[in-house]
Amino acid sequence: MKQKILDQARLLYNAKGISNVTTRVICDQLKISLGSFSYHFPDKKRILQQLYEEILDENQKIYDTIQKQEPTINTYLDCHKALFLIQEKYKFFYLNLFEILTNHPKIKEAYFKNRIEETNMAKQVFLYYMQMGILKKDITESQIIRLINVGNILNNFWPIDSELSPKLNQTERLIHYMKICCGLLEPYLEEESRDEYHKYFKMLENKSM
């Protein structure tokens, strides 16, 4: 039942926004009593905290997978595609990011801790990709930091732009925002990797037709 409550809360938050979903609404959807709900979650804060932990766990599985695979631009793009799909699954978190971080100190602490860890990991990935000839070897440290910082902003806030933009289906949305976010890296790719980059998106576009 605990997972059913989490799944239903996520769907409702995605559809209606956090502030418009009460514990009563969740209970009514699941046809359970408030007592049954409270047994698993004393309040909505616990639900949000648990859902954020799910986001971190699902992201970590993607990071673990990419570390086991051959380093190529396709591996990098596959990783981003998987992360984008996780963001779609939990889009309420990104649409309400400021509100959540303001009102939930534990989530805020975990969020910024995770952001530091992801920044350090991204630096290591870029340096490794430079060594492997995927990225150009003359990229400076300041350029790497700028890429990571701009990438963080785009990755956190593309779901908001998606809600404000003309509606696209999931595949169209995925391709559109992956091109924007991953496109930051394109000028720094070596020629062979750049060719693979364009083939990757061509493949996605062909599949969407």
CATH fold label, 51-208:
Tetracycline Repressor; domain 2 (1.10.357)
Q: How many CB atoms lie within 10 A of CB 41?
A: 19
CATH fold label, 1-42:
Arc Repressor Mutant, subunit A (1.10.10)
Residue 101 burial (10 A CB sphere; 0-12, 13-18, 19+): middle
Q: How many CB atoms lie within 10 A of CB 27?
A: 18
Q: What is the pLDDT of residues 66-114, one digit of tens each?
A: 878 888 999 999 999 999 999 999 999 999 999 999 999 999 999 999 9
SS3 31: coil
Rounded Cα distance between 142 and 19, Å, is 40
Give which of 172, 208, 18, 175 is closest to 102, Cα–Cα: 18
Q: What is the pLDDT of residues 153-195, one digit of tens each?
A: 999 999 999 988 878 888 888 999 999 999 999 999 999 999 9
Q: What is the pLDDT of residues 34-61, one digit of tens each?
A: 888 888 988 888 999 999 999 999 999 9
Q: What is the pTM of this model?
A: 0.91
In angstroms, the Cα distances linking 89 to 11, 78, 94, 96, 158 are 8, 17, 11, 14, 14
What's the pLDDT score for residue 108? 97
What's the pLDDT score for residue 16? 93
What's the pLDDT score for residue 209? 62
The structural domains of the chain, with segments of one domain joined by +, span 1-42, 51-208
